[in-house]
Amino acid sequence: MSPAWEGTIACRTTDPSVARWLAQALGPEVAREVPRARARVDLRSPTEVVLEVRASETGPLRAALNTYLGWIHLSIETLGRAHDAEAPPPP
């Protein structure tokens, strides 16, 4: 497949541990094949995770980007709920 289309998703946070966690959470998903698209995840800086997706057509690129955005949303939502569960109850 010679990629003609590319999409990039950059996630920035103020907490380096969150960025590392997100990159690790996306790693197995990037390793799996998404039909007609290829992706890679990179911890660009201590607080920025970048996901690059390449595809030969716009349809597979859109589908892959939507899939990865869903996984990112799920990961961040999971982290938020875990954080809320650890927080002490309000006074």
Pick one of 3.30.310.50, 3.30.479.30, 3.40.390.30, 1.20.120.160 as the CATH number of 5-86.
Answer: 3.30.310.50
In this predicted structure, what is the pLDDT of residue 2?
64
- Tell me if residue 5 falls in helix, strand or coil: strand
pLDDT in tens, the chain (91 residues): 566 899 999 999 999 999 999 999 999 988 887 788 999 999 999 999 999 999 999 999 999 999 999 999 999 999 888 877 776 665 5
In this predicted structure, what is the pLDDT of residue 35?
80
In this predicted structure, what is the pLDDT of residue 7?
96
Q: Where are the domains of the chain?
A: 5-86
In this predicted structure, what is the pLDDT of residue 66?
95
